Chains A and B, each alone.
Chain A
């Protein structure tokens, strides 16, 4: 196991380097630059700005400047928020997205797995249809409809919750973002759980457990749940990365100031260093959680060996 982990860490370095290289050149090959806006700058000013950010040099030189900075842990200055570096912006917004994300993840996991198990045990009954219908509600309502509906219901009609803002993550400010964030994941987790739970409940070892007279709850929780979680776990790895790196819709509607809006705005405005910064963050997290998923696989299924 230890050799497996150290191998994965060593493999992560070239992976990240390829990721950085490819996204750097892709980003710079897109037409337009951070300073090509509607309000055109005088050519002398533009030349000065370009020189300051090395934008007048060949892309390959810019790439090595960027790598050099990266080695010292510097993600570069933001082209859009001129007074901030990317490090500062990410340090400011990532904890917000991560807090919303972790709560949403826990909510989605609990409700999703619960719904999936209930539906699987009563397959093709009205309970099955009802529970899955409830879980699917999250997937069929687009976030950008759900978010304004939440605000209408909780804030405008009922005055229960503040309509937006963050306030250091106090819980009234967390409720609506967590609802908007977790709903689509609930549906997916419930569906995968239901699918694999039905499959597991039909396998031979469950029949054996039933034949020897084990009570139903022990069959479910001690025998069926573990193998049934295998497909769920492989979904959870990437899902967790997606959920903690935030959503532009949550940021736009609730004004939480998470990382989702930075990425989309960065990409639209050619804020090269912002896009690179977020890409590196997402990349690192993805590699990390894929390794965790692989380890969990081996823990859950003793047949899998590395």
Chain B
């Protein structure tokens, strides 16, 4: 190659003059798109408020979550009604305990179960699915059969076995739910990976000698992130619902602690005489789940790398 010194200098001078173009990263773009979705932004705000209320609300009440109001206990259907004066903002349950504080305390448990459970499920599921789909062949076969075996166990089978083996401990609900719910996640990620792995950029990475774990982490996982996020925000409300289903069966949180699910299933039994026992925890649950769903849709639209 023939280059003269002055030409090189000219190029360098030109390069100095060029103003650096501000590149927009994937995440900057995503943030911009996320904030243009009003339902998602509103949901995020509402969720923050609900979390704050669940954490701070109990400090604004004179009652504790296991205090029994003996006065209200004498006639729940009239004295147990929601009432600002005696401090029962949301009324009392059939045992005379304050629904407001119990809803807040239940909210802490429900949100914790939802977030912890899905975090476990997402990490395991994404890595498992991407690895299985990308490596393929015999490894894929074995990994999918293993997943199938786990998946063939009815979910409640695990929960009930774990509960009887270790007693009723809220921590075990996390483990049971998180350790079993990654299965669908893995299956969906694998499905996406199967169609991704024939893409040109994966081939290019392979041709350049990038190692398999690195291809999975750098090239497959970011590209399935869109569907992972949708599924993750589907998972959190699902976890909260599953927890409530377990509570419905009477296997959930140990009394006097409670969760939204436990409150709702108690409230549903008395809905004709004391509707507030159902209405307050149910509306908190419904609003929270709605918000998670809209948040998920918003994040999905924002994180899709093809949608620039």
Contacts and interface: CB of A to CB of B under 8 A. Distances in A.
Interface string B124-168: 000000000000000001001100110111101100110011000
A155 interface: no
B162 to A, nearest CB: 9
Looking at chain B's contact residues, the main secondary structure is helix
A205 interface: no
B227 A195 contact: yes
Given A148-B268, A195-B227, A267-B160, A282 B187 contact: no
Interface in B239-261: 241, 244-245, 248-249, 261
B117 interface: no
A68 interface: no
Contact of A18 (B36, B38, B149, B227): B149
Contacts of A11: 141, 145
A187 B293 contact: yes
B154 A145 contact: no
B297 interface: yes
Contact of A145 (B161, B264, B293): B264
B188 A191 contact: no
B154 A142 contact: no
Interface string A134-164: 0010011111110010000000000000000
A98 to B, nearest CB: 16
Contact of A191 (B230, B241, B285): B230
B120 interface: no
Looking at chain A's contact residues, the main secondary structure is helix
B57 interface: no
B73 to A, nearest CB: 25
Contacts of B296: 191
B226 A26 contact: no
A20 to B, nearest CB: 10
Interface string A265-304: 0011000000100110011101100100000010001011
15 contacts: A124-B39, A136-B293, A142-B244, A144-B245, A187-B293, A191-B234, A202-B307, A230-B195, A231-B227, A234-B187, A238-B183, A238-B187, A268-B249, A283-B152, A287-B148
Interface of B: 36-39, 141, 144-145, 148-149, 151-154, 156-157, 160-161, 164-165, 183-184, 187-188, 190-192, 194-195, 198, 226-227, 230, 234, 237-238, 241, 244-245, 248-249, 261, 264-265, 268, 271, 278, 282, 285-286, 289-290, 293-294, 296-297, 300-301, 304, 306-307
